[in-house]
């Protein structure tokens, strides 16, 4: 699996799952752009990843103009973009809202980031990949919530299902340009944002009836997702596109 000298943009690459992905890809020789709404978090991640070749950029994926500027900056600095990982999302407690109480601001926050932001980033990067003519790989970080309802997470689950659908449709349209688009449905991954999510949901009224256990008897780590991304963006997965890889420790087996 050779990824040496490839260039990847990872949205939300400074924390949680994004940082785990950055760690794995950097170890495989990938040059990285960590795009984060809070620049200081990406800068901190850059320091932790040295001596790998990594730069930090501020980005609000909800703003298509900002996305275009970020991608153009990556092209100027590295001369190419081979990989996009759409990891940034509204997740954890900010994505939790009982359906009957969910206000307009919450609807917009979740949909604008998880759905629109994924589209804007993919479109901007794909245009550069098509122009370069070298192909490329795009991966959306979705969730098991795309396939199984989660209490108080109606919009979150819907947008994660949308990312699965986006991967399929984008894969179809971009295949003639040798651009592969895939998705990862992450299970219970231990991040700062989700460390106590079950208890926090219970505190706002969620029942105990719809909580699954992971058959492999542990929570996943951000690096587990990173290794899956490394496979999907490598030549080892050259015949894989439009697919969603479950990385969930068996969460959806029952």
Could you tell me the strand order of the sheet in which 31-36 lies? 54-58, 31-36, 7-11, 83-86, 136-143, 179-186, 244-247
The two structure tokens encoding residue 211: 């909580």
CATH 3.40.50.150 fits 7-247, yes or no: no
- Residue 193: pLDDT above 80? no
Per residue in 118-137, pLDDT tens?
Answer: 999 999 999 999 999 999 99
pTM given for the model = 0.95
- Residue 208: pLDDT above 80? no
Residue ranges covered by each domain of the chain: 7-247
What 3-state class would DSSP assign to 74? helix
What residues act catalytically?
Answer: 156
Query: What share of the chain has pLDDT > 90, as a percent?
Result: 90
For all residues of the chain together, what is the average pLDDT? 95
Per residue in 70-80, pLDDT tens?
Answer: 999 999 999 99
Backbone φ and ψ of 112, nearest 5°: -65, -40
Per residue in 78-110, pLDDT tens?
Answer: 999 999 999 999 999 999 999 999 999 999 999
Nearest to 37 by CA among 90, 101, 98: 90
């Amino acid at each position: 699996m050779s990824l040496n000298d490839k260039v990847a943009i990872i949205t939300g690459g400074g924390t949680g799952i994004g940082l785990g992905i950055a760690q794995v890809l950097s170890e495989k020789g990938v040059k990285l752009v960590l795009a984060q709404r809070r620049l200081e978090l990406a800068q901190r991640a850059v320091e932790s990843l040295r001596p790998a070749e990594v730069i930090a950029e501020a980005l609000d994926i909800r703003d298509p103009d900002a996305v275009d500027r970020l991608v153009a900056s990556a092209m100027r600095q590295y001369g190419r973009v081979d990989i996009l990982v759409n990891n940034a999302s509204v997740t954890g407690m900010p994505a939790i809202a009982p359906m009957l109480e969910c206000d307009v601001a919450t609807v917009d926050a979740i949909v604008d980031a998880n759905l629109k932001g994924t589209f804007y980033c993919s479109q901007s990067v794909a245009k550069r990949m098509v122009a370069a003519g070298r192909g490329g790989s795009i991966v959306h970080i979705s969730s098991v919530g795309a396939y199984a309802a989660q209490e108080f997470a109606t919009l979150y689950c819907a947008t994660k299902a949308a990312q699965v659908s986006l991967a399929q449709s984008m894969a179809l349209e971009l295949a003639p340009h040798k651009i592969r688009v895939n998705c990862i449905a992450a299970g219970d991954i231990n991040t700062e944002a989700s460390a106590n999510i079950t208890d926090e949901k219970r505190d706002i009224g969620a029942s105990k009836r719809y909580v699954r256990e992971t058959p492999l008897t542990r929570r996943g780590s951000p690096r587990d997702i990173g290794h899956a991304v490394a496979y999907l963006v490598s030549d080892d997965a050259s015949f894989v596109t439009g697919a969603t890889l479950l990385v969930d420790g068996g969460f959806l087996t029952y």
